[in-house]
A and B are shown apart, each in its own frame.
Chain A
Amino acid sequence: MSQPTAALTPGFAHPVHDAQRTFRAVLEAMARPLTPQPLGVPLTPPAPLTAEAGVVVLTLCDEQTPLWLDEALRGSTEVTTWIRFHTGAPLVDDAAQALFCLASSPHSAPPLDTLNLGTDQEPHHSATVIIEAAEGAEGSCTAAGPGIRESLTWNGAGLPPRFLKDRQRLTEAFPRGVDLLFLTPGAVSGLPRTTRLSLIGDI
């Protein structure tokens, strides 16, 4: 909190257009699950926050969206100051209170069963988890559901097997659920709650 604002790196240079472009990429990502969408990254947030995570957070978060950060991000005053300054999002320690969760690696994503899944009447009051995917993860799943023409294979983003199994089980809770966004350099992909995963070698 003691960071002088002079040390802050800037947010969007063109707030209206940058947010619009980022949103369209995220919307396409959610509409076409696990198909990476190019993401422009016109800013340099403080490490370990990546530019991809920075643009997505600036586009989606504000005073109305409690945001949870993993330990690596929470531990950086530069990161928390930057996010608070540019979005006003309240940072929460308890992932269950969050509308957005941001994990700087697949291993630091919060366990899905601890998150807000919404209710059967209000399934939209559920968390969205943004995860920095591991590069070069080995393919491990097939995926099908709305937004996917037939089926596709997915490398699992480097998520631990337990997380993927939790995610697989969560499909049954529909309409309750959690929606995921994965970030890779210059791209975003989505995994909405409707996508059915089969773990290869697990069937």
Chain B
Amino acid sequence: MGGQAMTLTDQRPASEPRIVYNEGYLDEQTKRAIRRALLKGVAIPGFQVPFASREVPMPRGWGTGGVQVTASIIGPEDLLKVIDQGADDTTNAVSIRQFFERVAGSASTTHTEQATIIQTRHRIPETPLAAGQTIVYQVPIPEPLRFLEPRETETRRLHALEEYGLMYVKLYEDIARYGHIAKTYDYPVRVNGRYIMAPSPIPSFDNPKMHMSPALQLFGAGREKRIYAVPPFTSVESLGFEDHPFEPQSFERPCQICGSEGVYLDEVITDDAGGAMFVCSDTDYCARTSSGTSTEGAPQ
């Protein structure tokens, strides 16, 4: 390289730091582009709006879409909750929460009903969401038809024509082979009777919570450069057939810590002899149910 090649910045005074980041990390121009995409997403529920996804300081596929959406909506009045697998304390949730505390100076909470923004990976909290809350889903593969048709040029056409036969054929093949629809997470939904949408890899257990939710639901897929949304009080129907309707998974036992029933459970292996205990995946719900603090009620 010879060292002769130079850039303009080489003429800076030696005392100035070279590396400076914006307040809130994303620049205003980027936020505006994301905000416009969000508005169109809300106006066309379930439609994947392409956006010029930026790099954010974490690996692609680790929530960069959710982070960009949250960064574009969050402000000083917000209380942010970040969960991964339902838990506030998983390493990736902690890392994302710390990112926002560092770059946006945002206040955070673990209490579902206090949060104004909940960024999540793989779960919807057990505490029902309320009007005024926004849930931001991290999405790895936004295209519900992707594993049936890998080409984006083709899936875009199928969505435009509302041509979803492929999806129903796949689900029906499952029934023929296993007697059930063999899809337990990222279970496809139809939004407002029009677009088939990937709910992100939440367990099908959580799907019913999306239907007519009073909260605003936003979805960010950073690597795949797509944003989509479900407004409050919008029909979100999990796909099924008349003779094989959608059945969310359920657990027949209560949480072994807090005793809650009808909640999603993690199976925690306790020994090498097949021993296991089943506990709430939603750590906030579990902690406060077992300590007797109410988890009912809405923030507004």
Chain A interface residues (CB < 8 Å from chain B): 15-17, 19-21, 23-24, 26-28, 30-32, 59-62, 64-65, 119-121, 123-124, 126, 128, 145-149, 174-175, 177, 179, 192-194
CB pair A121–B156 under 8 Å, yes or no, is yes
Q: Please indicate the chain B residues that have their CB under 8 angstroms from the CB of A146 in the complex.
A: 45, 192, 230-235
Is B49 an interface position by the 8 A CB rule? yes
- How close is A121's CB to chain B, nearest CB, in angstroms? 4
Give Cα A146 to B41, complex, Å: 12
Contact partners of A121 in chain B: CB under 8 A = 156-157, 159-160
Contact yes or no, B44 A31, CB < 8 A: no
- Residues from chain A with a CB closer than 8 A to the CB of B160 are 119-121, 175
**Chain B, 145-174, contact with A by CB distance < 8 Å: what is the 0/1 string?**
000000000001101110000000000000
Residues B39 and A62 in contact, CB atoms below 8 Å apart = no
- Closest CB of chain A to B174's CB: distance in Å? 29
Q: Nearest Cβ in chain A — how far from B233, in angstroms? A: 5
Q: How far is the CB of A14 from chain B (nearest CB, A)?
A: 10
Which B residues are CB-close (under 8 A) to A60?
32, 35-36, 39
**Interface size grouping (class) on chain B:** 35 or more
B233 touches A148 (CB 8 A): yes
Known: A62-B32, A146-B233. A30 touches B39 (CB 8 A): yes
Residues of B within 8 A of A128 (CB): 39
Q: Is there an interface contact between B75 and A17, defined as CB atoms closer than 8 Å?
A: yes
* Complex Cα–Cα for A20 and B24 (A): 11
B269 on the A face (CB < 8 A) = no
Which residues in A have their C-beta under 8 angstroms from that of B216?
A: 27-28, 31
- B267 CB within 8 Å of chain A: no
Task: Name the CB-closest residue of B to A63.
Answer: B29
| CB–CB B75/A30 < 8 A | no
Inter-chain CA distance A194–B234, complex, in Å, is 10
Residue B124, interface by CB 8 Å: no
CB pair A179 B76 closer than 8 Å: no
Which chain B residues border A21 with CB–CB below 8 Å?
75, 77
Q: Residue B55 at the A interface, CB < 8 A? A: no
Closest to B72 in A: A23
| A148→B231 CA distance, assembly (Å) | 9
Cα of A123 to Cα of B74 in the assembled complex, Å: 27
Question: For the complex, what is the distance from the CA of A126 to the CA of B29, rounded to whole Å?
Answer: 20
- Report A-chain residues with C-beta under 8 Å of the C-beta of B35: 23, 27, 59-60
Q: Is B47 a contact partner of A192 (Cβ separation < 8 A)?
A: no
Known contacts A24-B75, A121-B157; is A62 also within 8 Å of B232 by CB?
A: no
Binding site for A on B (CB under 8 A): 23-24, 28-29, 31-33, 35-45, 47, 49-50, 72-77, 156-157, 159-161, 192, 194-195, 216, 229-235
A164–B124 Cα distance when bound, in Å, is 39
Report if A65-B36 is in contact (Cβ < 8 Å); known contacts: A16-B23, A24-B75, A175-B44. Answer: yes
Contact B74 A20 (CB under 8 A): yes
Please judge, given known A-B contacts A24-B75, A31-B231, A146-B192, whether A179 and B39 are in contact too, CB under 8 Å. yes
Query: Are B73 and A31 in contact, with the CB atoms below 8 A?
Result: no
Q: List 16 A-B contacts (CB under 8 A).
A: A20-B31, A21-B75, A27-B38, A27-B73, A31-B216, A60-B36, A123-B47, A124-B50, A146-B45, A146-B234, A147-B42, A149-B233, A177-B43, A179-B39, A193-B44, A194-B44
Asked if A30 meets B29 with Cβ closer than 8 Å, knowing A17-B76, A194-B192, the reply is no
Q: A16-B24, A19-B31 are in contact. Are A147 and B231 (CB under 8 A)?
A: yes
- The answer for the CA separation of A76 and B232 in the assembled complex, in Å, is 39
| Residues in A neighbouring B50, C-beta threshold 8 A | 124
**A-B contact sample (14 more), CB < 8 A, given A27-B73, A194-B44:** A17-B76, A20-B31, A23-B31, A27-B35, A27-B39, A30-B39, A32-B231, A62-B29, A120-B160, A126-B40, A147-B234, A179-B40, A192-B43, A194-B45
Are B233 and A175 closer than 8 Å at their CB atoms?
A: no
The 5 closest A-B pairs by CB, nearest first: A192-B43, A120-B160, A124-B40, A146-B234, A147-B231
Q: Given that A31-B232, A146-B233, A149-B233 are known contacts, is A124 also in contact with B47, CB under 8 Å in the complex?
A: yes
CB distance from A29 to the nearest CB of B (A): 9
Chain A residue at minimum C-beta to C-beta distance from B40 = A124
Q: From known contacts A16-B28, A62-B32, infer whether A32 and B232 are also in contact, taking CB-CB under 8 Å.
A: yes
Residue of A nearest to B48 (CB): A124
B47:A27 contact, CB within 8 angstroms: no
A60 CA to B45 CA, complexed, in Å: 20
For A128, give the chain B residue with the smallest CB separation: B39
Docked Cα-Cα span, A149 to B50, in Å, equals: 29
Contacts of B157 in A (CB 8 A): 121
Q: How far is the CA of A188 from the CA of B216 in the complex (A)?
A: 17
